[in-house]
Structure formats: structure tokens, C-alpha cells
Amino acid sequence: MKVLKKIGELVQEADWTKEKHIPVIECADAVKANENFEVKVSIGKEIAHPNTTEHHISWISLYFYPEGEKFPYQIGRYEFNAHGASVQGPNTSSVYTHHAITTWFKTSKPGTIIAVSLCNIHGLWQFSKEIKLS
């Protein structure tokens, strides 16, 4: 069976200082082996992304790809489910989930952290950050 389109071909990348969709990863450049460290991922760090019923970030998925391994591991999946919708209609609930997360994980190997996010109307976006062991 022929694969018509690979998902990776549809994931967009850009300079986060100029593009509002990038899930920017913030954490230490070097971490201690086997010790939990904090990772923050946020969208709209430089240019705010809308958060309305019609236009919002739906989720972030976070992965770690250890150096020398064949596959990445999923660290977490974070859903943003409130975007103003209520029984009165769009943008009437006053409740909006902000599209930013903080989590922790540990690793015994250096590697690459990869964040992928979905805007409900502008598609998939990714950002990656290399971490070393200190």
C-alpha cells in the first residue's frame, strides 16, 4: 500500500520570534542523569495566539528522543478543552484554557525534546530542543 502523505511533511516549523504557533520549549541546556528536571512548553511566547471558540490551540504532545535510540518516547499529551463555548453560543462561557504546560521528567541519556501542537485552523507545528547531560 502506498502512503500518500507522511504526517511529518505536514508539520510546520518556523522562527518562534516571528510565528505565533510555535510550541516553544524552555528547560536547562544540560541536566543531571536520572534526576527530574522541569520543562515548560508555551505557544505565543513572543506573539500571542488567539484563544477563542473559533480559533485556539487544541493540544500539545511532548516527546523525548534519546541519543542513539531508534524511536522517540512520549513524555505527555496535554489537552486544552475550554475555549469560551457554552449553551449561549461561542465565546460566552468566560472560561478559556491557556495553551501552556509545565512538566518534569528524567533521562539517563542526552537527546532531543520535541513538542508538537495543533491549532484548530492552522494545523500542526513543532519545536525541538537538544539537552545534554551535565
In the complex, the residues that contact Fe ion under the rule CB under 5 A are 119, 122
| 7, 87, 124, 132 from 12: Cα distances, Å | 10, 34, 6, 25
Which of the residues are catalytic? 19-21, 49, 55, 119, 122
Residue 58 or 103: the one with the smaller Cβ distance to Fe ion is: 58
Q: Is 63:116 a contact under the CB 8 Å cutoff?
A: yes
As measured in angstroms, the least distance from the Cβ of 55 to Fe ion is 6
- Which of 46, 48, 41 has its CA nearest to residue 18? 46
- In the bound complex, which residue of the shown chain has the CB atom lying closest to Fe ion? 119
Residue 7 or 48: the one with the smaller Cβ distance to Fe ion is: 48
The grid coordinates of residue 121 equal 485552523
As measured in angstroms, the least distance from the Cβ of 125 to Fe ion is 9
- Which of 41, 37, 39, 38 has its CA nearest to residue 16? 41
Residue 122 or 129: the one with the smaller Cβ distance to Fe ion is: 122
